[in-house]
């Protein structure tokens, strides 16, 4: 699954437009799907410098796939700073000096594939990382059962 950059905003985010006061059922559905994708996509770590350590979802087994605890080293802003480019392995000392032990252990469990590849978005509902209707529906139902301010069905 690929997400096209928005030329006006130069980012990987959708344009920030509202749904209006009385949106149609179709428009409401578009917004639900947008939030569903936002909840279900996460970054698989590769060799690029596009993943933000704090802003992006990239840590499997973590709530919303994000770093949960306070960060001690604010200078480490991208995931690439946590990887030794020569060995293609995690910089354990930097990770433990930056994150809590709980977050550091989760980061270190992220494995790299044998050959270097770019950072890419993956779907968290499937082991393959590819979206399926079944896993999308499952995530939608989970969001409806466990509503929080960040869940997908709130506007």
Per-domain residue ranges for the chain? 23-45+119-155, 47-113
Q: What is the pLDDT along the chain (155 residues), one digit of tens a residue?
A: 444 444 443 445 544 455 566 778 888 888 888 888 878 888 888 776 788 998 889 998 888 889 998 888 888 899 989 998 888 889 999 999 999 999 999 999 988 665 667 888 888 888 888 888 888 888 888 776 565 544 444 44
Q: Are β-strands 120-123 and 83-84 bridged in parallel, bridged antiparallel, or unpaired?
A: unpaired
Q: Please report the pLDDT score of residue 133 as a whole number.
A: 87
Closest C-alpha among 135, 152, 141 to residue 39? 152
* pLDDT of amino acid 39: 80
Please state at what angle helix 133-145 crosses helix 25-40, rounded to 10 degrees.
100
CB-based contact 68:99 (threshold 8 Å): no
0.85 cut: is pTM over it?
A: no
Query: Nearest Cα to 123, choosing from 2, 13, 5, 12?
Result: 2
Q: What is the pLDDT of residue 145?
A: 58
Q: According to the model, what pLDDT value does residue 97 have?
A: 95
């Amino acid at each position: 699954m690929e997400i096209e950059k928005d030329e006006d905003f130069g980012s990987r985010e959708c344009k920030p437009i509202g749904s209006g006061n009385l949106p149609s059922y179709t428009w409401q559905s578009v917004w639900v799907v947008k939030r569903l994708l936002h909840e279900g996509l996460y970054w698989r770590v590769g060799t690029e410098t596009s993943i933000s350590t704090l802003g992006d979802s990239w840590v499997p087994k973590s709530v919303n796939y994000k770093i949960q605890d306070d960060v001690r080293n604010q200078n480490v802003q991208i995931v690439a700073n946590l990887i030794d480019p020569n060995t293609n392995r995690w910089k354990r000392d930097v990770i433990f000096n930056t994150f809590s032990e709980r977050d550091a252990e989760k980061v270190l469990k992220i494995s790299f594939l044998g050959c270097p590849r770019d950072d890419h978005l993956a779907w968290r509902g499937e082991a393959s990382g590819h979206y399926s209707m079944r896993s999308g529906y499952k995530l939608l139902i989970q969001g409806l059962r466990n509503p929080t301010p960040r869940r997908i069905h709130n506007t």
